[in-house]
Amino acid sequence: MIKKLIPLLVLSLLMCGCPRTQEYSRPKMPVPAAWPEAEATPAADTPSAAEVGWKEFFADAKLRGLIELALAQNRDLRMAALHIQKVEELYRIQSAERVPQLNAAATGEGYRIPRNLSSNDRASTVADYRVGLSMASWELDLFGRIRSLKAGILEQYLATEQARSATQISLVAAIAQACLALAADREYLQLAQATLEVQQASYDLIRRIAETGMRSELDVRQARALVDASQADIARYTGQIRLDENAIQLLAGAPVAGEMMPTELNRVVEGKEIAPRLASDVLLQRPDIAMAEHQLKAAYANIAVARASFFPRISLTAAAGLASSDLTNLFTPGSATWSFAPQAALPLFDAGLRKANYQAMETDRDLAVAAYEKAIQTAFREVSDALTLRSSLAAQLNAQQALVSDLEAAFRLSQARYDQGIDGYLGVLVAQRSLYSAQQGLLALRTQRLANRVTLYKTLGGGGITEKAPLPSSMTKDAAATAQGTVKN
């Protein structure tokens, strides 16, 4: 029977007009080979972000405790892990199609033939009893359709693994940024409280002097205005601290005790210095870039599936067992039966359906290429922006520190001139407001500089999963071929 199918297969192959084979190749990097910042060139002993685990980068014990809690309880990370599990099960489902499926069945059937349909003009009853094994329609994967489906799901599995690592990187950075915000708002609150104490003491003094007639009501009102402004800031930062704590609770995914919350800004991000290597080396290590590449490989696998539709689909159906018209004779010699039904099918006319499907898969591939290149360009910009901001913030911080020192001296001089009756209180008011604003600006720049270190660590791929779980045994062989870039279609 197989010999009779050979002419049909040869004719089908001649008529199918299948597209040419395509082989995966990694697209070129659509970004410069080096970073635009001259200072981005690291020292020989400076590690890259991918080589520095988050436990090494973040030295604060409270922050490390929060990150560990978030990695165990955060729901976004949990959903990413469940996505991996789901794709693994889909891979097993697809792998099962390459193995024949056997079913055991026992059936009994009886029916009556009426007299007007009987050949001997007599009504009769017919019985049929069967027991045996049957093989469901099993496709011979001669043209790689099922193999390509497996390869596509494998790439989706690897992409979800990288997505989980990217989610962890974002989570680690988000926890650090939230802790920075909380610590900064607490320092803002302390600054406002310290300023209020000074302003309250000054207001009380001016009010007492005004009662003797040696100071005007204007001086009293101006001093009171400073007190009111500081009280408003205290109320605002008190509320903001509660919002920051709520944000940390959400990221952690579980209740966080008050003693686990950070209190000192400088201790939140205090770890190793990192610097990027060449752009190509750094970006290709980022899990979001690796995820985009696996999705691109999956698109190539889908093209292979569409290409296989131009070839005949060959399937086998078989059954073997025992059959008898009498149940008592079912297991006696001579009741054995079998059937074998190979089939080859190829649409001869489908109004361009297969060609359109193939072209749609090619379009999906082109979309995946564009997405991969866009991911690289976005990552390059993120790192470049972080490097540029790092240089800018260092200069701004030095200038702001000098400004605070100058305004502190100006405030002392203004206070002295007021105390001596040379100037009015307006000069003190302006100097004190300027100093308070400059101190707030200095605190903001300190926060931004520390946040920039977290951002740079994140954009360089730091904080991801360093020890990945081994692949399931069913995937190991296919994953090795994929890692060598042998995806063909």
Residue 195 maps to which CATH number?
A: 1.20.1600.10
Give Cα separations from 474 to 167, 274, 478 (angstroms).
Answer: 26, 38, 8
Q: Is 376 domain-assigned?
A: yes
Cβ(48)–Cβ(275) below 8 Å? yes
- Count the domains in the chain: 1
Residue 337 — φ and ψ, nearest 5°? -145, 155
Cβ(185)–Cβ(177) below 8 Å? no
Q: Is 124 domain-assigned?
A: no
Give Cα separations from 74 to 153, 168, 320 (angstroms).
Answer: 26, 10, 54
**Residues with Cβ within 8 Å of residue 283, at least 6 apart in sequence:** 29, 31, 289, 376, 379, 380, 383
Listed as own residue / partner, the contacts of 57-61 with beta carbons closer than 8 Å and 24 or more positions apart are: 57/271, 57/272, 57/274, 57/457, 57/462, 57/463, 58/176, 58/268, 58/269, 58/270, 58/271, 59/267, 59/270, 59/271, 60/179, 60/262, 60/267, 60/268, 60/269, 60/270
Q: From CA 214, how far away is CA 208, in angstroms rounded?
A: 9
Q: Is 329 domain-assigned?
A: no
Q: What pLDDT does 378 receive?
A: 93
Q: From CA 247, how far away is CA 245, in angstroms rounded?
A: 5
Q: What pLDDT does 45 receive?
A: 62
Task: Give the residue carrying structure tokens 């043209």.
Answer: 143
Q: Is 444 domain-assigned?
A: yes
Q: Is 472 domain-assigned?
A: yes
Range of the domain at 169: 30-98+144-306+353-477
- DSSP calls for 23-62: B--PPPPSS-SS-S-GGGS--TTPPPGGGS-HHHH---HH
Q: Is 2 domain-assigned?
A: no
- Among 12, 22, 17, CA closest to 361: 22
Q: What pLDDT does 447 receive?
A: 93
**Residues with Cβ within 8 Å of residue 147, at least 6 apart in sequence:** 98, 141
Q: What pLDDT does 245 receive?
A: 93
Q: Is 276 domain-assigned?
A: yes
Q: From CA 315, how far away is CA 346, in angstroms rounded?
A: 12
Q: From CA 456, how far away is CA 449, in angstroms rounded?
A: 10
Q: From CA 191, how far away is CA 430, in angstroms rounded?
A: 18
Cβ(279)–Cβ(380) below 8 Å? yes
Q: pLDDT digit of tens for each residue in the chain (489 aa)?
A: 545 555 555 555 545 556 777 788 889 988 888 777 645 555 556 677 877 888 888 888 889 999 999 999 999 889 988 888 888 888 777 777 777 777 888 877 777 777 776 677 777 777 777 787 776 777 777 778 888 888 888 898 889 999 999 999 999 999 999 999 999 999 999 999 998 888 888 888 778 877 777 777 787 888 888 889 889 999 999 999 999 999 999 999 989 888 888 888 877 776 667 777 777 677 888 899 999 999 999 999 989 888 888 888 888 788 887 787 777 777 778 778 888 778 777 777 778 888 898 889 999 999 999 999 999 999 999 988 988 898 889 899 999 999 999 999 998 998 888 788 788 777 877 888 889 899 999 999 999 999 999 999 999 888 887 666 666 666 665 655 554 444 444
Cβ(301)–Cβ(489) below 8 Å? yes
pTM of the model: 0.80
Q: Is 76 domain-assigned?
A: yes
- Among 200, 202, 159, CA closest to 294: 159
